[in-house]
A and B are shown apart, each in its own frame.
Chain A
Amino acid sequence: VKKLINSAETVVTDALRGLSAAHPGLRVDPDGRTVSRSGGPTPGKVGLVSGGGSGHEPLHAGFVGYGMLDAACPGEIFTSPVPGQMVTATAAADGGAGVLYVVKNYTGDVLNFELAADLCAEEGVEIASVLVDDDVAVRDSLHTAGRRGTGATVFVEKIAGAAAEGGASLAEVTRVAEEVNARSRSFGVALSACTTPASGRPTFELGETEIELGIGIHGEPGRSRSTMRDARELAAIALDAVDEDMPLSGDALVMVNGMGATPLIELYVVFAEVAEQLAGRGVRVARSLVGDYVTSLDMRGFSVTVCLLDEDLTRLWDAPVETPALRWGR
Chain B
Amino acid sequence: MKRLAGLPTLRVNSARAVSIEYDGKRFHGVEGDTVATLLYANGTRIFSRSLKYHRPRGLYSLDGQSSNTYVDVDDIPNVCAENTFVGNGMRVEPQNVLGTPEHDWMAFMDKLSWAMPAGFYYTIFHKPARLWPIAVRHIRKTAGLGSLSPDVELRGRFDQIYPAADVCIIGAGPAGMSAALAAAAQKLRVILLESRPWLGGYFDYRTRNHKPGMPLYLRGRQLADQLEQAPNIRIFKHTAVIGCYSNNLITAFQRGSEADCFAERYVQIRAESVVVATGCIERPLLFENNDRPGIMQIGCAHRLARTWGVLAGEQAVFSIGHDLGIEAAIDLHDLGLSIACVADVREDGCDPALPPQLEARNIPFYPGWVAAKAHGRKVLKKVTLTNLSGVCKQQFDCDTLVASAGLTPVTGPLALAGARLEYDAHTGYFLPTGIPQKMHAAGRMLGLEDPTAIELSGRLAGLRAVADCGMAVGATISGVEEELAKLPGPARGSKFVVAPVEGKKTFVCFDEDVTIQNIDQAMRLGFDVTELIKRFTSAGTGPGQGGIAGHNLPLYVALTHRSPDLHPRPTTVRPPLVPTLLATYAGTNHPMSKRTPVHASQVAAGGVMERLQPWQRARRFCADTTARAEIENVRTNVGMLDASTLGKFRIFGPDALKALQRVYVSDMARVSTGRMYYSAMCNEDGCVIDDGVATQIAENDYYFTTSTGRAGETSEWIRYHTRYDRWDFHIINLTDAYGVINLAGPNARKVLEKVVDGAVSNEAFPFLGFREFMVHGAIPVRAMRLGFVGELSFELHVPSSYMQSLWDILEEAGEEFAIWNFGLEAQNTLRLEKGHVILGSESEQRTTLHDIGLGFFWHRDKLEAQTVGAVALKQTENDTSRLKLVGFKMEEPAARAPRDGSPIVAERIRGYVCTARYSYALKEPVGMALVEGYLAKNATRLTIFEDDCKGELMKAKVVPMPFYDPTGKRMRM
Do chains A and B stick together as partners? no
